[in-house]
Every structure is written in structure tokens, then in C-alpha cells.
Chains A and B, each alone.
Chain A
Amino acid sequence: MTAMLEMRNVSKSFAGVQALRDVNFSVHAGQIHALVGENGAGKSTLMKVLSGVYPHGSYEGTIVFDGEERRFRDINDSEALGIIIIHQELALIPLMSIAENIFLSHPPSKLGVIDRDEVYRRTRELLAQVGLKESPDTLITDLGVGKQQLVEIAKALSKRVRMLILDEPTASLNEADSAALLERLMAFREQGIGSILISHKLNEVAKVADHITVLRDGRTVDSIDCRAEPIQEDRIIRSMVNRDMAHRFPERSVKIGEPVLDVANWSVYHPIHPERQVIKNVNFGVRRGEVVGIAGLMGAGRTEFAMSLFGRSWGTNISGSIRLEGRDMVLPSVAAAIDAGLAYVTEDRKQLGLILADDVRKNITLASLDQVAPKRVIDDIAELKIASDYRTRMRIRCSDVYQETGQLSGGNQQKVVLSKWLMTDPKVLILDEPTRGIDVGAKYEIYCIINELAEAGRGVVVISSEMPELLGICDRICVMNDGAFVGEFKGADATQEKIMRAIMRNERNIGNAAPAAAEMGGMQP
């Protein structure tokens, strides 16, 4: 079998920095080819070369597609051949319908007038192909991220896709949506569509990939034929980071102390639909030195719960009591919450966590300017010293603390956000998806930081959709579903199956089975 796509000896450099060196990469028809590597390994650059974002002439090497050498001038050239890339940040227009989005660039038309019947007919066909039961009229903004991802794929199919490139498609999906998406990929394999899957989630890669290519520092360092040999995650990780990672999660000595945070009878209503109770009279607690995980599906109310605790930054009609170190607290604003010793690291560091145009120093001190500004005037030398300290302590990789945070990699950005919150000297830190979109090496460092925080006697709450991560770092895992806690496990006892079972049992109990089942897709036991 000859390859549908072959990239030969591709090299590309930016202003002296070699991003790709002699990369060879090929994909057959009906093959799922996974491309893995740390952030900055060159995966996205390689895909941009393939899709024509970097036009012919700006790189060295050749691209052969269908046995012919191709010289793409822009992305239209590659799309014409059916090479479609779906980016991590979805490119859908929120206030347009599914149908309008799918046929945005080339709507079927007669004499320049859009043929709506044809648009709807074809949209329904495409939606059926991706397994999405929604009306073509539904606005994108009314869909969850998982379904939006499927709309993107439907859009790709409308362009007669032959080679589908997915950049971290499951990064913001929960387990069920991810599973549904991967199943689609396997269906496409049967239809002879080649897929390139860029992912940090090795369990998914192991599940669907026919071939795995590992990139590191712009070179191909490993190539695994999954049909010929069993997949060893350890081997992949070793190739990715070039170091033996006996344990993906660092060891720590657990010393759990007094309760530090106690939330009782907490209830929160939706800010736009005030009749909807989102958090349903829950109780929750953390002790000093304890790492507590909150597991759950997307939309279970975990982020809403955390944000409502954090100075009521989400929801209305909030009631219940918060006790910090045994004292009752009223936290009407974020400033009050910070003063009381709470910190919340948001799940969306670019939109909610950082000021990307500002430098590392300003971002670190933002939440605790009082510490560097006696009498409200900033002591710039004290500020610089504190920021530089955090840079060293957290191993933030930047040219200096005056570098814009927007230029840093995801892992380093996350370390800046963590530094900001450490500087407020919190008693309890709530980390919402702390390792989303971060490569394996940086993840390990974040886990180490979490351990240090717990060892220093702080209470740590980790909200995560990656169950292995929760199992790896938490002393206790609480399972949230539909705004309530439906299960709790000691770290040692917990398994993915137990957590999923707790969620599924609850879904059935609340008589919500029909929509839940649809959402769960193939995960229904």
C-alpha cells in the first residue's frame, strides 16, 4: 500500500530557530496517524506546512499527495485536495446556526441566492454522518463544546475531506464526548479517510491510532506501528521528554491536618435563568495538607461551584455557609475572598487568568499589589525581586520577567498564574483544570507544585476532567454530577470505573436518563 500523503525531509526555521529538522511523515488512506510530542516540539508547525499556512518555498523538503508533488500556496490549495485542518480553537461563528456555519464559505446557491432547502438537506445528511442529533437551525452558541467539535467535523466532511487533521480535538471535551469523537474517527477510517490526530492524551492515542509518530525538538524521534507491536505509554512518554519517567505523578508525604475550608448547604442559582438551581445544597470540606479532587462530566457544576465560593464570581441567589479555619466567613467579592485566604486558578488561563499583553512581573503581582506598594505607590525594585523569586522557584521559562506572558508556552503561562495566586498566600487553592493543554513534562512540574503546596499545609482542591490525573494526585476524590456530590472515594480506593459508575447511577436516578444517555454516547455501560 502506498501512502496517500508523504512529507519528505521537511525542515523549517523561524528567524534562526530551527522548528523542524528533516521530518519524514506519511499517512495512508484509512489510517489514523497520531502525532505526539511536547508543546513546542513542532507538531503544529508541521501541520501548518502541510495545510499551506506556510506556503511552498518557506520550508525545505517536499510534500507528496496522491503520488504527486504538491506546492501549496495557501490553505485553499490544500483544502481543494481535501486536506482539512480543525484547529484547537474552534472557528465557528457563535450566533449563526449549524447550517450557516457548515456552508459558510461555499453555500449551495442558485444565481447567487442561497438555496436553503439544499443547505438544510445536506446539513441533515452531514449531521447524521457525525452522529449529531440537532436541528440545522440550532445556534452554535447553544451547543456544548463537544457538539461544536462535531459540527466542525461535519463542516470538514462538507468539503469532501480526504485527510482530516485534528489538533487536540478532545482537549476541552469530557470523557464521554471524547469517546464519541474518537468513535467517529474510527468510522472515518472505514471510509478510507486518513486522519492525523494531535493529542496529549496518550490513552486516547493508544485506543485509536494505527501509527504513532513522536516529535521532539523538531525531529522525528520515534515511529511506532501499532498494529505490529503493542503500545507502551512509557515508551512514548520517554521519547517525548527524553527522560525516563518511572512515575507520571510525583511521590509525596501526606500529612493531613485540621479542616481549613468547610462549606455547608451551599446553593447557587443560574445568573441568566434564576429559576434553575445549579448547585444543590452541597457540603464540602478540605483539610490542611490535603489534595481533594472534584471529578465530574462537563456541565456537572464544578466550575460554577468553585467560582461561586470565590467571592460570588458566578451565579445569583447564593446561600450557604463558608468556614475558613473554623471561622464563619462572608465573601461578597473577589477581594474579600482573596483577603480571607482563598485562591481560584481558572480553567481558562488566556481569557480569565492572564493579561497576555502584560509582562510576567505585572501578572504575578496583580492580585497582591499591596505587598509591593506601601502607601499605594509601587516599589518597582521590590516588585522585580518578588517576581524574579517566583520565576526561579516555579522554574518559569522566560527571557526575563519583562517578557510578555502571551509569548510563553501553556505550561509556563500556568506557572505564572500559579505564582500570582501563591503570592496572595492562600489557605486554600482551588485549581480548575490546572494541566489543560499542557505537555507531559510541564504537567509533572505542576503536580510537584501541587504537592509542595499541600506539604506547606495549604488545602488544595483540584477540578479535573482527566481522571488518571485525579487518581494520581488526590488524597480524596469527590464526584459531582448535576450540581450535587454523588460519591466520594479515598485516593487509594478510587478507580475510573467507580467514578463513572457513581455518575451513571446518579444520572439514572434523577430521571434524566434520556438526555444523559445521548450525551454519554458510547460510554453507557
Chain B
Amino acid sequence: MTDKTVSLPEERRHGSFIKNNLRNYGMLMSLIAIMLFFQVMTGGTLLQPLNLTNLVLQNSYIVIMALGMLLVIVTGHIDLSVGSVAGFVGAVAAVLMVTYKIDYTLAFIACLLLGAAIGAAQGYWVAFFGIPSFIVTLAGMLVFKGLALAVLQGQSLGPFPATFQKLSSGFIPELLPEAGTLHPTSMLIGAVLALGLVYASAKGRSREQSHGIEVEPYAFFLGKSVLLACAVLYFTYLIASHRGLPNVLVIMTALIALYGFVTRRTVIGRQVYAVGGNAKAAKLSGIKTERLTFLTFVNMGVLAALAGLVFAARLNTATPKAGLGFELDVIAACFIGGASAYGGVGRVGGAVVGAMIMGVMNNGMSILGIGIDYQQVIKGLVLLGAVCIDVYNQRR
């Protein structure tokens, strides 16, 4: 058979690109549609700078954990304990900082290490003992929920040192003279980011072209880049006109970029997907499958700890109920974002979009005054619907 990739007629190439991109960006478009819907329904409240900033703050810990959960799900496992772990780590952080007055940097690092140790303890049973992750982390969920209660002795503990609170409630410092309500430093960072993204994708495209690889049609590339840049600029404009970029948004963005890179471009990322796709074949290809599975759980533990710290800093107290039910939102975010429950499939971008869909719906429905009861019903149906669409798409 001959090479089919060369010289398709122009319209067909456009057609197939639209089709492919629709599949890849389907969830992103759903997010945009959902945002528009709530923007209209709430009479413009959703995208007000204040509300948007809150939206980011409220969902940061879900996004952070979704990054770790995605890897766990891609290896074909699940982690039900993340909510309890986040709550437990927040409680330990409060005890260290409030009760024992330990320096917040030291306490912060200690908490992340504690998260790693918890992840390692659970990952050990899953990876090297072959106990189903569902069971191990179900046990972990109970254990750490209980330990959080024990550590806090059933009480709330706070307040945290002011600097630690900045982790969640702080904004990046303003270095430039203020221009009305707009924060120029934030705006500048947004502009640099937008330009950087466009530059990087243009460079990648020309690199591929110079190697004779078929690339997307120029019109699409241009349109996509302009849209992306505009979206980033508009978003930063909104955020910058309230109090500037929140610290946690910076952390989140850096993590998303890091995990996106690791999953798409590194050997370890590729191997994680291989383990999830077919563990036996991966093993016979020289991949240390057990070790990788173990490491994804360690990674999950660290991110759950970070999320716990962010959440505690945001509330400014550690409560025994912190982290309750987080795991459900995190897991839902990954599946809405297109991860496969059988492993081997899932994208960082998808999980982030999934988390944002959940966040926007929570926020929008609250503004509309829909009760917590029906909010859950709707979220459940959205999860089912999203996965149904995904399964349907894959069957075609």
C-alpha cells in the first residue's frame, strides 16, 4: 500500500482537521458553553473579576489533586484517600504551626514529605503486593480521616501565621505603578504568557514543517493562536482588574505546565501511559512497572498534601471536616476530562478542563441559588453524560 498522508485535497484536509480538533477540544468547548450559559443566567456575575478570582481560589486544590489523580488513573488505578489525606495534612500543619509554633517553611516542607510518605505507604501495597488500589485507598480514606480527627482532637485549630495564609489568599506583589484598578504586573505577566504560548507553538510548527512533517493548515494555526492569546489576555485582564494574580494561580499554572510536559514529552511520562495501556507488555519491554505505579502514588500523596495546605491556608483553620468528599470531585474531574477508567488514556489538559467544568458549575449554581441537593444531582448527571459522550466517540 502507498503512503496516504501526502497530498489530500485541501477541503478534505480542512474537514479532517475540524473533525480531529472537535474531538480533542470537545471538552474545552463544553467548558466554554457552560461558562457562557452561566454568564448569561447569572446576568454577568460569573465573569466579574471578584467572582472569577474566587472561582480560581475555590478550585485550586481540586486542580492540583487532579494532576496527581490523572497519573494514578492512567496507570489503571484509583486513589480514594486524597480528600482524607489533604484533611489530615492540613491538620498536621495546624498542629505544627499553631500549637508548636514551628517555622512555616519548615512545616510546609515537612507536610509535603508527610504526603510523600503516605503515598509511598499506600503505593507499596498496590504496586508491590498487588492489592487493588480501590481497597488500599478505601482503607487509607478511613485511616486518615480518623487520624485527622485524632490530631485535632475533634476541634478546629487556627489561625495560621500570616505569611502562610498568603499561600492561598495572597496575590503577587505589585512592582509597577498602579493604573486605576488594573494591576499592571499581572497584566504584563499575562501578556508575556500569551506571547510565549503563541511563539512556542509557531516554533514547533515551523520545526515540524522543516522536517517535512504534515502540519495543520495555516488558517487553523493562526485562528487557534489568536483565540488562545485572546483568551489568556482576557482572563488576565479580568483577574488583574480585581487584585492581580493570586499566588495559588501561579503555583497551579506552573504545576499544570510541568505535568503537561512530563506526560507528553518525557520518558517517564510515556512509560506511565504504557503501564496503564498494557502492564504485561510494558514489563516485557523492560519497563519497571511496579516502581512506576509506586511513584505515581508517591506523587499523588505530595499533591494531596499540597492541596491540603492550600485549603487550610484558605480557611485559615484546620477542621476535622476538611477534605471531606474532595476525592469525588477530583476523580470526576479526571473522567470528565476524558481519562479512561481502564487506564492508559487521559490528558493533563483534559483533567484541568474537567476540574474547571466542575468548579464553574458549583459556582454558577450557587450564584443562581440552586440548593446543594440539586447541585449534586446535576453534577452527577454531568459526569455520567460526559463519560457517555466519550465512550460513544470512541466507539465510532
Contact = CB atoms under 8 A, between A and B. Distances in A.
B5 A400 contact: yes
A358 B213 CA distance: 20
Interface string B263-298: 001111011011001101111111110000000000
B103 interface: no
A351 B208 contact: no
B273 A352 contact: no
B175 interface: no
Nearest to B394: A357
Contacts, number: 85
A428 to B, nearest CB: 15
B344 interface: yes
Interface residues of A, number: 35
Given A373-B266, A376-B267, A384-B213, A358 B344 contact: yes
Interface residues of B, number: 28
Contacts of B273: 358, 362
Contacts of B271: 369
Contacts of A310: 284
A357 B344 contact: yes
Given A338-B286, A400-B4, A377 B281 contact: no
Given A334-B285, A420-B285, A373 B277 contact: no
B144 to A, nearest CB: 33
B277 A357 contact: yes
A377 B344 contact: no
Contacts of B284: 310, 313, 334, 344, 346, 352-353
Given A356-B277, A357-B345, A378-B267, A366 B285 contact: yes
Interface string A367-380: 10110010011101
A362 B344 CA distance: 12
Given A352-B281, A358-B277, A376-B268, A381 B286 contact: no
Given A334-B284, A335-B286, A355-B274, A373 B5 contact: no
Interface string A402-433: 00000000000000000010000000000000
Contact of A366 (B5, B207, B211, B282): B282
A397 interface: yes
B1 interface: yes
A355 B277 contact: yes
B266 A378 contact: yes
A2 interface: no
A385 interface: yes
Contacts of B208: 381
7 contacts: A334-B287, A352-B284, A355-B278, A356-B277, A356-B278, A357-B277, A366-B274
Q: Ordered nearest first, which 5 A-B pairs have the shortest CB separation?
A: A355-B277, A335-B286, A367-B285, A355-B278, A334-B286
Interface of B: 1, 4-5, 207-208, 211, 213, 265-268, 270-271, 273-274, 277-278, 280-288, 344-345
